[in-house]
Amino acid sequence: MIKFFLMVNKQGQTRLSRYYEHVEINKRTMLEAEVIKNCLSRSKDECSFIEYKDFKLVYRQYAALFLVVGIDQTENEMAVYELIHNFVEVLDKYFSRVVSETLNLLLNIFSLSKL
């Protein structure tokens, strides 16, 4: 099961976050900081799967964006890795180019879906 989805830029700023389990706000900021630090500090030669606390992190880098998904131990890492790629392909087709400006539009869409 997917626990959270993050989009992060190379500077470590969270551009989009979506949680599928309840996590308190103060714990979210600490979790995001640790997850971002773990993913951004890895080289391109290292594996895109990280065991972190009681779950796994699967991430992919596209230009200046890192997409990170937190999953439980029973989830298939390769399936989530491909899910990230499919998500980016859909964004690319829909918006023609996935860049930071597109994220502002996505933030608005996600905030409207919460209403």
| Domains of the chain from N-terminus onward | 2-112 (3.30.450.60)
Residue 19 identity: Y
Residue 2 is predicted with a pLDDT of 93
Q: Which of 113, 46, 47 is nearest to 77 (CA)?
A: 47
Residues contacting residue 68 through CB under 8 Å, at least 6 positions apart: 5, 6, 7, 8, 35, 36, 39, 57, 58, 59
Residues 85-106 have pLDDT tens digits of: 998 888 777 766 655 556 666 6
Q: Which residues of the chain are modeled with pLDDT < 70? A: 95-115
Residue 97 is predicted with a pLDDT of 60
Residue 106 is predicted with a pLDDT of 63
